[in-house]
C-alpha cells in the first residue's frame, strides 16, 4: 500500500508542538518554549563524510508555521494547491487543528486570505467582505540580489502611506556575507 506510516515518537512531538503553540500564543514564544523543551527540526539520518557533525538548530518561526499548517497531520495529503483525503490516520484531532488555525489567523501580522482547498464557505464569505487584505507581492521569487539570493518583499509605513520594497533574504536572517 502507498500510505504514510506514522512514527509514534515524532507524532507525539507534533502533538506537543501544537499544544505548545496554543499555550504560548505566538510563533516566537512557541519557538523559545520548544527550544527549552529540547524540540528541534528532524535531521536526515544520513552522514556526509566522516567529519560531518550534525548540529541541531532550534525551530525557526517559518518552520513552526509550516508544521502547524501542514494538512498531513490532519489525515490529508496536499498536491499542489489541492488537498485530498489521505490513507493514513490523522495525528492531530479536528478540535486541536481548528483551534491552532484560528489562532494563527488571529495573530497574523497581516490578515491573509485562505484560498484553495483550505478555505471554507465561511472563509470565502468573510474574504469577499474584507477590504483590508493585503495583495500579494507580484515579484516574489522573481528578484535576486548580486550574490544570487532571493529578494523578499517588505514594507514600511510613513505619513499614513505604505511603501513596499524588496530586501535580500540574508539581511533578514542575518546570514553570512558572501564575496561576489
**Average pLDDT for the chain:** 77
CA distances from 7 to 37, 42, 70, 122, 172 (A): 20, 12, 16, 34, 34
Q: Does residue 141 sit in the same domain as residue 125?
A: no
Q: Does residue 81 sit in the same domain as residue 169?
A: no
pLDDT tens-digit map of 82-118:
888 888 889 999 999 999 999 988 887 655 555 444 4
CATH code assigned at 81: 3.90.1750.20
Q: Does residue 102 sit in the same domain as residue 179?
A: no
Q: What is the pTM of this model?
A: 0.56
Q: Does residue 67 sit in the same domain as residue 122?
A: yes
Provide the residue range defining the domain that includes 123. Answer: 8-42+57-129
Whole-number Å distance between alpha carbons of 28 and 118: 24
pLDDT tens-digit map of 141-161:
788 888 888 888 888 899 888
Q: Does residue 167 sit in the same domain as residue 89?
A: no
Q: Does residue 125 sit in the same domain as residue 141?
A: no
- Please name which of 97, 75, 96, 94 lies closest in space to residue 84, comparing C-alpha atoms: 75
In a domain, 29, yes or no: yes
Q: Does residue 73 sit in the same domain as residue 142?
A: no
Contacts of 151 (CB under 8 A, 6+ apart): 139, 143, 144, 145, 166, 167, 168, 169
Amino acid at each position: 500500500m502507498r500510505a504514510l506510516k506514522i512514527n509514534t515518537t515524532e507524532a507525539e512531538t507534533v502533538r506537543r508542538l501544537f499544544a505548545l503553540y496554543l499555550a504560548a500564543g505566538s510563533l516566537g514564544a512557541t519557538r523559545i518554549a520548544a527550544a527549552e523543551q529540547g524540540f528541534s527540526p528532524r535531521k536526515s539520518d544520513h552522514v556526509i563524510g566522516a567529519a560531518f557533525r550534525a548540529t541541531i538548530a532550534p525551530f525557526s518561526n517559518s518552520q513552526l508555521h509550516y508544521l502547524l499548517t501542514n494538512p498531513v497531520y490532519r489525515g490529508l495529503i496536499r498536491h499542489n494547491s489541492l488537498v485530498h483525503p489521505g490513507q493514513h490516520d490523522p495525528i492531530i484531532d479536528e478540535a486541536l487543528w481548528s483551534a491552532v488555525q484560528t489562532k494563527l489567523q488571529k495573530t497574523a501580522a497581516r490578515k491573509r486570505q485562505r484560498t484553495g482547498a483550505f478555505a471554507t464557505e465561511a472563509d470565502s464569505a468573510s474574504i469577499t467582505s474584507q477590504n483590508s487584505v493585503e495583495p500579494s507581492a507580484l515579484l516574489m521569487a522573481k528578484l535576486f540580489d548580486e550574490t544570487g539570493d532571493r529578494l523578499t518583499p517588505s514594507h514600511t509605513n510613513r505619513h499614513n502611506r505604505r511603501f513596499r520594497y524588496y530586501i535580500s533574504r540574508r539581511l533578514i536572517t542575518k546570514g553570512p556575507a558572501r564575496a561576489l
